[in-house]
Structure 1
Amino acid sequence: MAYKIAFFGDDFTGSTDALETLEEMGLDTVLFTGIPTKDQLKTFEDKQAIGVAGMTRTLPTGEIEKELKAVFDLFSKMEIRHVHYKVCSTFDSSPDVGSIGKAIDIGAETFSAHVVPLIVGAPYLGRFCAFGNLFARMGTGQKGEVFRLDRHPSMSKHPVTPAKESDLRRHLAQQTGKKISLVDVTQLEQSAAEIVSQVDEKEEKTTVVLFDVMTEQHLEKIGEVLERLSKQHQPLFSVGSSAVSKALCASWKKTGELLPRVEWPQLKPATPLLVLSGSCAVVTGRQIEHALENGFAEVAVSGEKLLSGSNEMYIVSIAEKVLHDMQQGKSVIVHTSIGPDDTRVEGTRNVLTQQGAGGYEINTRTARLYGKALAQIADHVLQSFVLERLVVAGGDTSSLFAREFGIEAVEMVAPIVPGAPLCRIHAKKAHIHGVTINFKGGQVGDLDYFLRMENGD
């Protein structure tokens, strides 16, 4: 089996973002929730690309190597042209948690990389990189004000990895000792051949090369550069947002190697809809409030009660409440908070602190707590109620939800909004196999996101 590209995503919503990018550009892709077995690879042997959804974004730096090395070792034994370590388009990371620098060190060693391209800017998601500095819209896509990352209303206040530095070179230098150079917007006016010749002149054994990205045309040029580099070394190990896939696919399209997909099944209504949110993002909070104002029922989940001794009974009681509302034809949102100022956020933190957790461990344990609880609630509901569609909100929560829920792999069904496609579940559990699911990050989507998912707009 030969693949054009294989990727590892540092969380689940980021992985479905990469899946969507490849599928929309015409590359048949499957996304696994763990290291695929030989039998699983054989089941999807017709695919041109594969991905593995990880959760390294929430892992302490010391724990990243164990998860990442196993996947990279597998990729190194396969026939693959490009290997992509997929990170969030807002570059969520720190020296202590979700270290992208650590991932670069592991990948560079595994694939004997001389040059590691780094592409983060994704104009189609409202992410722009200029002279090494990252800018992001509030939300994704074409709406919302653009902020420098360290002044972004949400990302500058991220509970685990707040953005304190917008210059990605400075940010990454805190996580790796490797040399970091830049191909800026002015250099992107040169030909791909000229850029490659400059990149190849780097003196260090391994150099991370950050590319500015402001336009789709920049991505096409960068794709040509990556293809030229891959002819010198395969697999070529690159790091970045879904812009890596977008750039490569744009290059393959230009050479006629790939034809973008233009037709997708029309999204049908799915009433009642079940939404499970472990996000405390401002955008998701507003989306929840809007859905509740427009007829959705809600079930509020208390982290404090989940941490109590009656956890199992509490989860069953929530699931039964959800079932009752859905049997009445109501769409339901199960949420752990409505925005970052919800009192439940602080309440959960206080209990975890009393239990001895501190720093980033609080957020890691919170994500695990919510991911597991929401998966158990959904599993209980689906054993008694046939659902067409699920929505899971929250990047950190999604990774843990997918594994706890029993998802082995997903395939894309149709695009919804950039970065959050509708997917179909492959699983051993009969009651969830074939169900469609949408994973969305906390910042993704417009105000009416959940209404659109219900109505099929």
Structure 2
Amino acid sequence: MNPLLLAFYGDDFTGSTDALEFITTAGAKSILFIEPPTPETLAAFPNLRAFGVAGKTRALAPKEMEEVLMEAFTAMKVIKPKHVHYKVCSTFDSSDLVGSIGKAIDCGLAVFQNKLIPVIGGTPALGRYCVFGNLFAQMGIGSGGEVYRLDRHPSMSKHPVTPSSESDLRVHLSKQTSEKIGSIDFVKMQLPFVNWTDKLGNENVVLIDALYNEQMTKIGAFLENLAKEDSTLFSVGGSGVEMALGAFWQEEMVLNPMQEWSPMQPSEKLLVVSGSCSPVSAGQIVYAKNHRFDEIIIDAAAICENDEVDAEVFEVLKAKFKVSDKIIVHTGNKKTGNLPSEILGKALGLIAKYAAEHCDIKRIVVAGGDTSSYAARAMEITAVEMIAPVVKGAPLCRAYSDNQVIDGLEVNFKGGQVGGENYFTLFV
């Protein structure tokens, strides 16, 4: 058997499919699971080179995160991949109260006990650029939007749960962990990668700049060199980790990149469910409505208060699909950032599951990072596999499930910042 190169734990579902796309496209046969797999589970997927776990820690408090991550990281360590990556949102959405990346770093140090934990700051392919520790982000992944410093980003600076008030990732993360954070900046990166850590002191964590796609192979070489010193290297960052390692493994001919995909076929019916608060997603909903999509607006506050979806929503959905072939279910213009992601995500997942079971829906798009992990679980998805690229960071996937109706369903999970205004129409 080929050695297992990489295992990653995503802090939400949309971010996890982002990482899945990068490593699959690099040429590694990969599966994304809902829960950490056992060796027996992995044996059912022959020739795997990588796997991921789509977690939900982005929406959890640090104490809950610790309980989840210590168990998950320990299970991953038993399987002995060369690399374990804690995959965060490319804009490092987090705080000391919710989705703490610092807490994930603490858990990773405790389990893997590496001498140095690398944090990759940027993902250039997604319009995320880290320079001298400061993160800049494009408005709308794959949209050609303007690039803003993170604390001045029109969307991320106003995120309803974890608004970005600091662009320097070292400062941002130091509010979440007591570990000292060093830096490998743009200037140091001009040196051979074996010299990148020469001037580090007693730091256990090091932030690495990433500005150009061309830098990623060298970053991958640095990560692989660190992995030689430990049985498994633990790292943190967006899908720039998969991009870097994939590029290096291709250069070393460990992997051969995917050259062709079967084209995405038209879908007779399409359901979109959105719990996203992003203005990017809001613009996409408006565009879709102007292109023959019908809509159902749900009362998110009532759903969260009662912890259930009104039966009328299902009846309306069923009736609308008799006269319409493209429907978006969303929360309207009311702000939902202060509502429980778990309850809202579960509700959207149950609506999606109902559509698959009763409306003959074969393709579903789920929008919203905070709610996506709960939606996927409510849909009874156990794993997904990438089947086609669409927009960078949000591939079309095939679902695995014990529910025969869900098994084989085509699903797409997108974060709030992903895509141009025509995003939903791409799936028709």
Please give the TM-score of this superposition, normalised by the length of structure 2.
Answer: 0.97
Aligned equivalent of 1:323: 318
Coordinate RMSD, CA, aligned: 1.5
Aligned equivalent of 1:294: 291
The 3-state SS of whatever aligns with 2:160 is coil
User: 1:42-65 CA distances to partner (integer Å, 9 max, x unpaired)?
Assistant: 212421101111111110111111
The 3-state SS of whatever aligns with 1:166 is coil
User: In structure 1, how many angstroms separate the alpha carbons of the residues matched to 2:89 and 2:206?
Assistant: 18
Aligned equivalent of 1:91: 92
The 3-state SS of whatever aligns with 1:95 is coil
Q: Structure 1 residues 432, 32: CA separation in 2 closer, same or farther (over 3 Å shift)?
A: same
Aligned equivalent of 2:410: 436
Runs of 5+ in structure 2 lacking a partner?
Answer: none
Aligned equivalent of 2:175: 174
Q: Looking at secondary structure, tell me which structure has more helix per residue.
A: 1
Structure 1 residue 253: deviation in Å? 1.1
Aligned equivalent of 2:160: 159
Within 5 Å, give how 1:290-369 maps onto structure 2: 290-307=287-304, 311-312=308-309, 314=310, 316-337=311-332, 342=333, 344-345=334-335, 362-363=338-339, 365=340, 367-369=341-343
The 3-state SS of whatever aligns with 2:258 is coil
Task: In structure 1, give the amino acid aligned to 2:135.
Answer: L
Q: Structure 1 residues 95, 381: CA separation in 2 closer, same or farther (over 3 Å shift)?
A: same
Aligned equivalent of 1:258: 255
User: In structure 1, how many angstroms separate the alpha carbons of the residues matched to 2:95 and 2:367?
Assistant: 23
Structure 1 residue 71: deviation in Å? 1.0
The 3-state SS of whatever aligns with 1:30 is strand
User: In structure 1, how many angstroms separate the alpha carbons of the residues matched to 2:80 and 2:357?
Assistant: 40
Aligned equivalent of 1:380: 354
Aligned equivalent of 1:116: 117
Q: Structure 1 residues 147, 385: CA separation in 2 closer, same or farther (over 3 Å shift)?
A: same
Task: In structure 2, give the amino acid aligned to 1:50.
Answer: F
User: In structure 2, how many angstroms separate the alpha carbons of the residues matched to 1:295 and 1:319?
Assistant: 21
Structure 1 residue 259: deviation in Å? 1.0
Larger mean Cα displacement after TM superposition, 249-258 or 152-161? 249-258
Task: In structure 2, give the amino acid aligned to 1:18.
Answer: A
Task: In structure 2, give the amino acid aligned to 1:387.
Answer: I
Identity across matched positions, percent = 46
Structure 1 residue 38: deviation in Å? 4.2
Is the counterpart of residue 446 in structure 1 residue 414 in structure 2? Answer: no
Structure 1 residue 142: deviation in Å? 6.0
Aligned equivalent of 2:58: 57
Aligned equivalent of 1:220: 217
Task: Select the residue among 325, 344, 348 that pairs with 1:370.
Answer: 344
Verify the 8 A CA contact 2:4 2:50 in the aligned structure 1. yes
Runs of 5+ in structure 1 lacking a partner?
Answer: 350-361
Structure 1 residue 308: deviation in Å? 5.4
User: 1:355-394 CA distances to partner (integer Å, 9 max, x unpaired)?
Assistant: xxxxxxx44x1x1222111111122222222222100000
Q: Structure 1 residues 426, 179: CA separation in 2 closer, same or farther (over 3 Å shift)?
A: same
User: In structure 2, how many angstroms separate the alpha carbons of the residues matched to 1:74 and 1:240?
Assistant: 20
User: 1:145-168 CA distances to partner (integer Å, 9 max, x unpaired)?
Assistant: 100000000000011111000000
User: In structure 2, how many angstroms separate the alpha carbons of the residues matched to 1:448 and 1:203?
Assistant: 49
Q: Structure 1 residues 310, 149: CA separation in 2 closer, same or farther (over 3 Å shift)?
A: closer
User: In structure 1, how many angstroms separate the alpha carbons of the residues matched to 2:56 and 2:276?
Assistant: 16
Verify the 8 A CA contact 2:32 2:54 in the aligned structure 1. yes
User: In structure 1, how many angstroms separate the alpha carbons of the residues matched to 2:72 and 2:305?
Assistant: 36
Following superposition, which runs of at least 4 residues in structure 1 exceed 6 angstroms of deviation?
none
Structure 1 residue 310: deviation in Å? 9.4
Q: Structure 1 residues 424, 310: CA separation in 2 closer, same or farther (over 3 Å shift)?
A: closer
The 3-state SS of whatever aligns with 2:285 is helix
User: In structure 2, how many angstroms separate the alpha carbons of the residues matched to 1:169 and 1:110?
Assistant: 22
Structure 1 residue 214: deviation in Å? 0.6
User: 1:25-53 CA distances to partner (integer Å, 9 max, x unpaired)?
Assistant: 00110000112244422212421101111
Verify the 8 A CA contact 1:26 1:259 in the aligned structure 2. yes
Verify the 8 A CA contact 1:7 1:84 in the aligned structure 2. yes
Verify the 8 A CA contact 2:193 2:218 in the aligned structure 1. yes
Structure 1 residue 257: deviation in Å? 1.3
The 3-state SS of whatever aligns with 2:248 is helix
Verify the 8 A CA contact 1:130 1:212 in the aligned structure 2. yes
Verify the 8 A CA contact 1:35 1:52 in the aligned structure 2. yes
Please give the TM-score of this superposition, normalised by the length of structure 1.
Answer: 0.91
The 3-state SS of whatever aligns with 2:289 is helix
Task: In structure 1, give the amino acid aligned to 2:313.
Answer: I
Aligned equivalent of 1:14: 15
User: In structure 1, how many angstroms separate the alpha carbons of the residues matched to 2:404 and 2:280?
Assistant: 34
Aligned equivalent of 1:353: none
Task: In structure 2, give the amino acid aligned to 1:302.
Answer: D
Is the counterpart of residue 419 in structure 1 residue 412 in structure 2? Answer: no
Verify the 8 A CA contact 1:4 1:81 in the aligned structure 2. yes
Within 5 Å, give how 1:132-211 maps onto structure 2: 132-141=133-142, 143-195=144-196, 198=198, 202-204=200-202, 207-211=204-208
Task: In structure 1, give the amino acid aligned to 2:233.
Answer: L
